[in-house]
Amino acid sequence: MNIHLISLPINFPGKKSIVYAFATLFLLTQSCTTPERDVFQKHSISRKGMVVTAHYLATQVGLDILQQGGNAVDAAIAVQFALAVVFPRAGNIGGGGFLVYRNSEGLVQSLDFREKAPSDAYRDMFLSDSTESVMESGLAVGIPGTVAGMWEMYHSLKPNLAFGDLLQPAIELAREGFAITEAEAERLNKFKQLFQDNNDYPIPFVKETKWVTGDLLRQTELANMLERIADEGADAFYKGGNAIYLTQAVRNLSGIIRIQDLSSYKPIWRDAVSSTYKKYTIHSMAPPSSGGLTLIQILKMIEPFSLEMNAWDSAYNIHLVVEASKRAFANRATFLGDPDFVAIDQNKLLSTAFLTNQMLEYNPNFASDVKAIDRNLPAASPKEHYETTHFSIVDAAGNAVAITTTLNSNYGSGIFVKEGGYFLNNQMDDFSMAPGVPNQYGLVGAEANAIEGNKRMLSSMSPTIIEEDGALFMVLGAPGGPTIISSVLLVFLNVAEFELPLAEAVANRRFHHQYLPDEIVVEDMDWNPEVLKSLEERGHKIRKITSMGAIAAIRVLQDKTLEGAADPRDESHAQGL
């Protein structure tokens, strides 16, 4: 037996899931190997259920739960806790995120388990510090929401299996260990100094020699923490010993989280932001995520115009999407924040009158100057960050889950709660530190996203579920900061407008514009030079980056077959039962 068999639909009977079998195999052979990059499965077809995640072991956990009789909700909870073990740079119990859920009868619900600012946070708390220093301090840590979110999902969305059973695969992976991939080894080596700077005690992610592909990573403290959560529920994280350990870890590095901040944290059920684009209905996350509104605004702005159908990436099409994106991201910066603190008129922002007016100055031959859009915000320089994770799941009955979670940066703040075995986020950076001051993604904001105690920071996460003529059509999302929105948008358009196969749509090169700075960011792939030249002649500035986003998508075909696609940009894995 060889670990490369993970690309095949293998299932082991009994309570011990497939992940335990892998871990045991590693220990017995003392030769911990992982699949080469080209073995990660990027496309799969099934009628029985589909799971697409950022890590092959997390995908296997989801499949194993479905095989045991769990539904998409069961599988999602199990996958989230598994990602906290096997994908520590973004999978987490020390961060937060969003859920968009559609049950088999078409009911759509969304859950906000985004992090919150500590109660003692205040508007100008970061003005005397650089973004870099803030990102690696205790001040950067928001109140985590992931554990509360999974607990709320379990008690509200009719799962089939016991809560403790859903955590068992993650517990076994953490306790027995798993072989790290090449990419994870590179990241652990890269961030070793941060781990050592922010933690004055040994942590499992630091060793004397360099990490190499196939090294076994064991996380005993995390296994113990997950066992407590399995037995006691969310209280094991937000109250008692863990609450004390978390606040101590943060306050040791100048943080301001109080024990009461943890015990009072609650996830919130919110109405998804939903609207139509031609024959499709898009359901995505509402504020404090900007993803859904911004995505739908772009779609509604381009809908009255005819796309060139000869090539999805023609200069005309790119120009149209970019001009709509400029306006939508300007609206994001101006109007959006935590709806519990800021009045957001979603009906107005998605109205035909408002969006038509946005495009009145659109010219198919010339780039509009962002100064004409005028939000009185200075230019910014975006950095490339993708330290978020998304997974998509559809079960045999047609229940669909789209979840995006994050620690913000790679391994969040780098602050490790030793007794709990997990990293803490640095999500406070997603607030507007001051109007016009860019965060690590180059995004600027206004008063709507200013820091306040107990407020949720604005996000670009965009877990999205799409219907075609009322039937489930796509489930998708991505990491990538603001490029999440563009990634989801382009994959949907590639499939819906240009009828590309899902895997091709996911693999296609991408572009992005976020209002400020005034430039089109394109992946450094095989672009037609004439297209880029035509865009420059229209007045656009072009900047190339390595990659953006990492889509995890599922499409329901006409015969109800499920098609899963994982992004070739990373080590994600798509597999069906």
| SS3 label, residue 281 | strand
3-state SS string for 112-144: EECCECCCCCCCCCCCCCCHHHHHCCHHHCCEC
Q: Tell me the C-alpha distance between 570 and 56, whole Å.
A: 11
pLDDT in tens, 99-116: 999 999 999 999 999 999
Per the model's pLDDT, the better-predicted residue between 20 and 158 turns out to be: 158
pLDDT category of residue 29 using cuts at 50, 70 and 90: very low
pLDDT in tens, 395-416: 999 999 999 999 999 999 999 9
Amino acid at 209: T
pLDDT category of residue 324 using cuts at 50, 70 and 90: very high
Percentage of the chain with pLDDT > 90? Answer: 84
- CB neighbours of 79 closer than 8 A, spacing ≥ 6? 51, 53, 58, 59, 61, 62, 65, 391, 393, 403
pLDDT at position 188 over 50: yes
- Taking residue 275's Cβ as centre, other Cβ atoms within 10 Å add up to 18
**Count of the separate structural domains present in the chain:** 1
Q: For residue 288, is the peptide bond before it cis, meaning its omega torsion is within 30 degrees of 0? A: yes
pLDDT in tens, 123-155: 989 876 555 567 889 999 999 999 999 999 999
pLDDT in tens, 347-379: 999 999 999 999 999 999 999 988 877 665 544
pLDDT in tens, 421-480: 999 999 999 998 765 566 665 666 678 999 999 999 999 999 999 999 999 999 999 999
pLDDT of residue 30: 33
pTM as predicted: 0.92
Task: Give me the mean pLDDT over the 170-194 stretch.
Answer: 97
Per the model's pLDDT, the better-predicted residue between 336 and 12 turns out to be: 336
Q: Tell me the C-alpha distance between 365 and 406, whole Å.
A: 39
pLDDT of residue 11: 33
Q: Tell me the C-alpha distance between 344 and 366, whole Å.
A: 32
Active site positions, annotated: 388
Q: For residue 517, is the peptide bond before it cis, meaning its omega torsion is within 30 degrees of 0? A: yes
Task: Give me the mean pLDDT over the 37-65 stretch.
Answer: 93
pLDDT of residue 372: 78
Task: Give me the mean pLDDT over the 285-310 stretch.
Answer: 97
Give the chain's length: 577
Maximal CA-CA distance, the chain: 67
The answer to whether the CB of 306 falls within 8 A of the CB of 145 is no
Domain that holds residue 156: 1-577
485 token code pair? 């929105």
pLDDT of residue 253: 95
Q: Tell me the C-alpha distance between 488 and 463, whole Å.
A: 9
- CB neighbours of 475 closer than 8 A, spacing ≥ 6? 392, 393, 394, 400, 401, 402, 464, 465, 466, 553, 554
- CA nearest neighbour of 324 among 96, 486, 189: 486
pLDDT at position 224 over 80: yes
User: Phi and psi at residue 202, in whole multiples of 5°?
Assistant: -65, 140
Task: Give me the mean pLDDT over the 261-268 stretch.
Answer: 98
Percentage of the chain with pLDDT > 70? Answer: 88
pLDDT of residue 136: 87
Task: Give me the mean pLDDT over the 168-182 stretch.
Answer: 97
Q: At what angle do helices 146-156 and 72-86 cross, to 10 degrees?
A: 160
pLDDT at position 288 over 70: yes
Task: Give me the mean pLDDT over the 238-260 stretch.
Answer: 97
**In the chain, count of helices (H) and strands (E)?**
20, 21
Task: Give me the mean pLDDT over the 336-354 stretch.
Answer: 97
| SS3 label, residue 217 | strand
